Amino acid sequence: MKTRLFFLFVLFASVSLAQQPDNRLLTPDKRWQTDFWKAQWIGHPTAPIRAYGVYHFRKSFELAQKPTRFVVNVSGDNRYRLFVNGKAVVSGPARSDLQNWHYETVDLAPYLTSGKNTLAAVVTYMAEYAPFYQMHYQFGFIVQGDGDAEQVVNTNNTWKVYQNPAYSPVINDIPKLRTYIVVGAGDRVEGAKYPWGWEEPAFDDAGWTAAKPVGWSAKPRGLGTDGNWNLVPRTIPLMEETPQRLATVRRAEGVDVDDDFLRGKNSFSVHRNHKAVLLLDQGHLTNAFPELTVSRGKDAVITLAYAEAMVDDKRQKGNRNQVEGKQLIGFEDQFIADGSKQKRTFRPLLFRTYRYVQLTIETKGEPLEVHDLTGHFTGYPFQEKARFASSDESLAPIWTVGWRTTRLCAGETYYDCPYYEQLQYTGDTRIQSLISLYVTGDDRLMRKAILDFEHSRFNDGLTQSRYPSADFQVIPPFSLYWVTMVYDYWMHRKDDKFVESLLPGITSVLDWHEKRLAANGLNGPLEWWNFVDWAKWEAPGEGMGGVPKGARKGGSAILTLQQAYTMQRIAQLFYHYGKNQQAEHYRNVGIRLARNVYERCWDAGRGLMADTPDKTGFSQHASIWAILTDAVPVAQQKTLMQKVMTDPSLIQATFYFKFYLFQALKKTGMADQFLPLLKPWHEMLAMGLTTFAENPEPTRSDCHAWSAAPNYEFLSTVCGINPASPGFETVVITPYLGNLQFAEGTMPHPYGDIAVRFDKTPTGGLKGTVTLPEGLTGTLKWKGKTIVLKDGQQAISL
């Protein structure tokens, strides 16, 4: 996905994040959602408010006794990290935009004591070095006490502030890394300029200056005369942070180091005026805050470089486990030691993505002691509640690696990839959301994503393709995926008020597409970037990658059928909410579009749907949409599906669009052929990937959650568990075991767990058990037979 360059900001601190009890945020007092705040946004009295800077704030206060409750609301721009008496308690704000600027509500009581207490915060404003995902207004920080007792910590000029001169950006841009990377700048920290211990209560802040109020009155969304920092409560939990150690030393030059160092069992020294290079292997890809602890070594320069994989002299990755003859080229941070005998810990303010870490140490006049290098895994706190097992043991690592891929692509938003972008794209997010629902039952990040895209709509009526994003980008097919994502949510969750509130936005997206239909009943010329898949399209003149023929000039079967697919589904939702006239319109338009494509693009001689009416190009994509929309008569769909899977002359779907290939298999009742289609996933595992890649080799990103779709399919296709009515109030189970002798799975449902176990009998029958939670009923369908299911456990024999 294309954009321009920003930079990722980083954190520096010696204390790891303390888990909030149960990792749950509190609900703020309603007055902070309806009235002006008493606290003020604060900044530095002389530093520019829109220039790069890292700032520290402190506030000391007395308490007569340890409180049982001390709740505050906290936010900052760009990012903050709040400490209480030296312990890191909360980071934020959750990513969003200025019209929906999040704040976190947390109880500080567990970290407070009687007598003197100190709140301290580091706030980073990256300005032109910010990553694309970071929307921002100006440097600022705010703390609002939730109740009367907590007003003592409200931000105002009684807080102290210090601009940290130790920081400067490390440029990790497209020219340097020769690929599309927009996660911003690394961090260079000069230890001699760093105010060590600034977060501790005993730190002497007498030389710090009084903070200065900045901006207008702090306020919740919808109040006041200006539109910046419209404060809204955070709706997702705090991010997980779990200690994690690197696995092994793969290479050591200029120093003798073994794996005991990585286990925290010993340290090592690098002589003065010496260079040492260590290549360290996590063993699998991760998102983590690295923490490097050193002492002495005045003016030693330590560079930490991070990479998903090693590359050869042609910058090709090859087998991800191999390092011989390869080099690490990647994102970098840098620390310059101050020579202190006390231990100094470098930690970036935001996480890094890596399997491999290269530590390059260049000492000056004295030796450097390296005491430890560890990490803290971070991400959305999804809990893996589903399980899948089968007679084919080779499927187990696909589940494991797929789930790791999903986790690394989920934080305060869903990410397309954690290393290169961390942007929330609708096409990716639809697939990620379904995996989340099926594996965890947690719908909060999906709900936030739907709202994020709702907030992204602009005057054309479309949603932006990725959001939150400081760089504007539009992919009209992704706006349609947002609509179907709302449909998915409606089918899986009973949340009528929320879904109904989105109908105007859905209407505006569908209107945009409908207004651009041509006289022949297919799409006319379309603006923006009409991305479909990273397939090898032969589409001269389209001007951008991933676009099939017929987007700019009109006449694309693929784009027209996606429009039909969307309207056919969303019509059901409009009927549900009593919008019958609108629903009937969308239903009829969807049917008409499918018919128009069949009449103009169906090649009877080849038995395939062409990409355009001139019938000069054929792809899997057009025929997949033709099946999913019934553009091709049902009686012909199995034959067409078989050609889709076996005709090598078709433009092939990449990992992303195979999700829709799998849906077409299910629709035609041919999903017993699903498992052989996982060959590319087995090949990725054989290549040493520990997450699933964006594309077939050669690939830019080694971690793209759209490629984790098999985790959803194991439960939805193999085990066959799907909602049969809106809100998942009934279930339909249609198992497809293929060549498996047995398959079993458990998935969370709003009422409880759904569990199934299916075995093939020697005579080709099916037996097993289905367990539904209390209050859930449905049907089981298998080879033309139907069984009524009730709640509780029931035996199956067919």
pLDDT at position 328 is 97
Phi-psi region of 79 (alpha: psi -120 to 50; beta: other; left: phi over 0): beta
In 3D space, the residue among 115, 111, 92 whose CA is nearest the CA of residue 103 turns out to be 92
pLDDT at position 723 is 98
**Domain(s) of CATH 1.50.10.10: residues in the chain:** 381-495+678-709
DSSP 3-state of 69: coil
pLDDT at position 540 is 64
pLDDT at position 11 is 30
Which runs of E-coded beta strand occur in 539-644?
Answer: 602-603, 608-609
For residue 139, count other CB atoms closer than 10 A to its CB. 29
**Domain(s) of CATH 2.60.120.260: residues in the chain:** 21-167+181-236, 241-379
Question: Which pair of tokens denotes residue 415?
Answer: 């990410």
pLDDT at position 494 is 97
Beta pairing, strands 115-125 & 167-170: unpaired
pLDDT at position 761 is 94
Classify domain 241-379 by CATH number: 2.60.120.260
Weakly modelled stretches of the chain, pLDDT under 70:
1-24, 539-543
pLDDT at position 10 is 30
For residue 198, count other CB atoms closer than 10 A to its CB. 20
pLDDT at position 13 is 33
pLDDT at position 16 is 34
**Residue 669 near residue 638, CB atoms below 8 Å:** yes
Architecture of the structural domain at 21-167+181-236: Sandwich (2.60)
Angle between helices 476-492 and 444-455 (to 10 degrees): 140
**Residue 60 near residue 208, CB atoms below 8 Å:** no
pLDDT at position 226 is 81
Give the Cα separation of 279 and 325 in Å (integer). 13
pTM reported for the whole predicted model: 0.95
Give the Cα separation of 530 and 107 in Å (integer). 46
Question: Which pair of tokens denotes residue 41?
Answer: 């946004």
Classify domain 381-495+678-709 by CATH number: 1.50.10.10
Which residues, other chains included, contact 46 with Cβ-Cβ below 8 Å and sequence gap of 6+? none
